[in-house]
Structure 1
Amino acid sequence: MAARSEKKQPLDQVRQNQLLCERVRKELQCQRLHTQYSVNPLHRVHTITRKPMSWHDNIEEPADDKFLNLIHHAALEPTKKYSEPQTESQEIGWNTTPLIHVDRTDRRLYLPRRKTEITK
């Protein structure tokens, strides 16, 4: 109990200045200045229905091609977006093209289901 009742002595100005300088230096290391802003391609866009009687919704505006391309690119499946898988789980099923051509006349590789008297 004696340790809790003791009051901490205030830090002197030199020590306070050292702590402040260290804090500012660490904050400046982590800061990044962002000057270009765009739409997050990973965020889904929710459309809101327009009001039929409002005048500002009925004005035709030219479409922004860059924005439309960005939205369409975000909606693509990962195999069309990227040249190789980005995560471990994407590696499963990434290559979907068959290794050999399926020849339906070759009975060794093509085994269709058959109906017989027993399976009916």
Structure 2
Amino acid sequence: MRTIENRTEDMVPNALNILFGVALVLAPWYLGLGYETAAARNAFISGGAITVIAVVALGKTYDWEEYLNLALGLWVSIAPWVLGFAEAGPPMWVHVVFGLAVAAFAAFELWRLFVSPQARSV
């Protein structure tokens, strides 16, 4: 397991993932989705998980946190096709864009964990 102590400027990717997670949780309201739809349930659960993991990673980043957010981001981006709401338009695009953004920032953090001289194995 690898870890790195975050400086203030290193917290930006996790802070952005927090914003994406919160935006995903709020997506059913601003898109006017019914609460019992697959898109809404996926947005609540995935967005909440992304937010919690990114908050935990703010002070000290571990590789497992970033692997989880990478997996969640990829899941969110393919969920419209897996859960059957790809033809829904805005909910599909919100999931794809936010999911790919979360995955990209998690991948960047993983890259940083393995190339940074400040990173260490625990």
User: How high is the TM-score relative to the length of structure 1?
Assistant: 0.25
User: How high is the TM-score relative to the length of structure 2?
Assistant: 0.25
Answer 1 or 2: which has greater helix percent: 2
The answer to which structure, 1 or 2, has the higher relative contact order (CA under 8 A, 6+ apart) is 2
